[in-house]
């Protein structure tokens, strides 16, 4: 019977859902707005994100997955079910297979609960897969060959670095430093340097429009608004690429360090392949200006940004589900 298998990138910053034959059908921030008094979920996704930093006392906008781990399991489960229900799985002809890609560091108990939540939402068979592997597949790497492929997946909460060969991870590292932490560093820099408080959204705007992690490669400026810590009044200042580059030096160095550690542990034959093929960057954090140049300089290997880096995991789930199909069909024959 016609089936529409579903792949889910359950990320710290965003949730993406890929449906076989349709492509990516949902892409929303991993945010849930709740009533603090009743515990009731008010909004999920984009609507909830608009509320971050702008809610009255009784409403809270939560990111249930923080730093690449599940900070609030019940809310994560509610969010997952909301998104699956939104794409109306129950309206599909047959119950779909689901492949979910969740943070690398979650516990066995959490894995089981995520599987159960997906099954309850209409999944026939639910698989969980490791994020860097799926990201590499989604970026078009031939990870099933006996050769070394290196991927650096810079998400919202974590950066996962992995060398893969013959379909499996050979060496890997995961650090809690990625796109969202860059926002926090920028926020803290503005606080320290200008004695001004800004919101998460403003910090992210600075990261996207002004920041760079590669010295002298970007010369932008932006007027930003916040609250003066001394007078308590609204204030506007101008920030420049050069100062943000300095503020992001340390966090960027942590990502470089994780990649170096992986290369140091990689068997020499696979290292040779990586020199030929280059390192592929995936995840939204990989779009931070200059990170490809910084890594290329530090690792002494070519570094390439994947096409649509934020979509790699979701696309990868689609490709992997087709492979599962092929394996299962072979078993039947």
Q: Does 45 bind ligand ATP (CB under 6 A)?
A: no
| SS3 assignment, position 223 | strand
- Residue 207 interacts with ligand ATP (CB under 6 A)? yes
Ligand-binding annotation for 48, yes or no, is no
What is the rounded CA–CA span in Å between residue 123 and residue 330?
Answer: 22
Q: Which parts of 292-331 interact with ligand ATP (CB under 6 A)?
A: 310
Nearer to ligand ATP, 143 or 186 (CB): 186
First to last CA, the chain: 17
What binding mask, one character per residue, do residues 230-269 give for ligand ATP by CB under 6 A, x or -?
A: ----------------------------------------
| CA quadruple 153, 159, 163, 168: dihedral, nearest 10 | -80
Q: Which residue, among 32, 88, 19, 25, has the nearest Cα to 60 in the 3D structure? A: 32
Provide the minimum distance between the beta carbon of 268 and ligand ATP in the complex, in angstroms, as a whole number: 30
Only one of the segments 51-59, 91-99, 156-164, 265-273 lies at the binding site for ligand ATP (rule: CB under 6 A); that segment is: 156-164
Q: Which is nearer to ligand ATP, 9 or 273 (CB)?
A: 9
Binding mask 95-134 for ligand ATP (x = CB under 6 A): --------x-------------------------------
SS3 of residue 15 by DSSP = strand
CB 77 within 8 A of CB 132: no
- 89 vs 175 by CB, closer to ligand ATP: 175
Taking alpha carbons only, the member of 241, 251, 246, 247 closest to residue 210 is 241
Taking only Cα atoms into account, the Rg of the chain, rounded to an integer number of angstroms, comes to: 21
226 binds ligand ATP (CB under 6 A): no
* Residue 158, marked binder: yes
* Interface size with ligand ATP, residues (CB under 6 A): 23
Query: Cα–chain-centroid distance for residue 198?
Result: 23
Part of the chain binding ligand ATP (CB under 6 A), chosen from 242-250, 256-264, 280-288, 299-307: 280-288
| 205 known member of a binding site | yes
CA-to-CA distance for 87 and 114, rounded, in angstroms?
18
Give the tokens for residue 166: 């013959």
Q: Does 14 bind ligand ATP (CB under 6 A)?
A: yes
**138 among annotated binding-site residues:** no
Q: Which residues pair with 49 in a beta bridge?
A: none
Within positions 58 to 97, which residues make up the interface with ligand ATP, using CB under 6 A? 68
Binding of residue 204 to ligand ATP (CB under 6 A): yes
Per CB under 6 A, 283 contacts ligand ATP:
yes
Any idea which residue has 């399991």 for tokens?
73
CB of 153 to ligand ATP, least distance (A): 6
Of 204 and 273, CB closest to ligand ATP: 204
The Cα 258–Cα 162 span in angstroms is 10
Using alpha carbons, select from 295, 224, 218, 205 the residue that is nearest to residue 258.
Answer: 295
70: which strand partners?
Answer: 65
178 forms part of the interface with ligand ATP (CB under 6 A): yes
Q: Does 273 bind ligand ATP (CB under 6 A)?
A: no
Supply 16's token pair: 């993406």
Handedness of CA 152, 285, 17, 120 (dihedral sign): positive
Give the residues lining the site for ligand ATP (CB under 6 A): 9, 11-14, 68, 103, 155-158, 178-180, 204, 207-208, 283-285, 287-288, 310
């Amino acid at each position: 019977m016609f089936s529409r298998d579903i792949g889910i990138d359950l990320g710290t910053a965003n949730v993406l859902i890929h449906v076989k034959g349709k492509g990516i059908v949902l892409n929303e921030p991993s945010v849930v707005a709740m009533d603090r008094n009743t515990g009731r979920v008010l909004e999920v996704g984009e609507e909830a994100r608009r509320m971050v930093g702008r809610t009255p006392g009784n409403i809270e906008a939560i990111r249930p997955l923080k730093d690449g781990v599940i900070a609030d399991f019940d809310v994560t489960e509610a969010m997952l079910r909301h998104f699956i229900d939104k794409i109306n799985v129950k309206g599909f002809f047959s119950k779909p297979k689901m492949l979910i890609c969740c943070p690398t560091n979650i516990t066995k108990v959490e894995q089981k609960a995520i599987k159960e939540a997906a099954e309850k939402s209409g999944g026939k068979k639910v698989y969980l897969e490791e994020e860097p592997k799926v990201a590499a597949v989604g970026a078009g790497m031939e990870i099933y060959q006996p050769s070394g492929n290196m991927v650096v997946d810079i998400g919202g909460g974590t950066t996962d670095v992995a060398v893969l060969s013959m379909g499996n991870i050979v060496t890997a590292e995961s650090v809690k430093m990625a796109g969202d932490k860059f926002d926090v560093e920028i926020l803290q820099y503005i606080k320290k340097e200008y004695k001004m408080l800004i919101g998460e959204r403003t910090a992210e705007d600075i990261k996207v429009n002004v920041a760079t992690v590669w010295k002298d490669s970007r010369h932008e400026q932006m007027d930003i608004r916040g609250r003066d810590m001394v007078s308590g009044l609204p204030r506007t200042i101008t920030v420049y690429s050069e100062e943000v580059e300095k503020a992001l030096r340390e966090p960027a160095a942590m990502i470089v360090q994780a990649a170096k550690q992986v290369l140091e542990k990689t068997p020499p034959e696979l290292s040779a392949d990586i020199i030929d093929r280059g390192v592929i960057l995936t995840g939204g954090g990989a779009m931070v200006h200059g990170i490809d140049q910084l890594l290329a300089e530090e690792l002494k290997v070519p570094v390439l940004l994947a096409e649509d880096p934020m979509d790699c995991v979701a696309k990868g789930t689609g490709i992997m589900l087709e492979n599962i199909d092929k394996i299962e069909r072979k078993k039947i024959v």
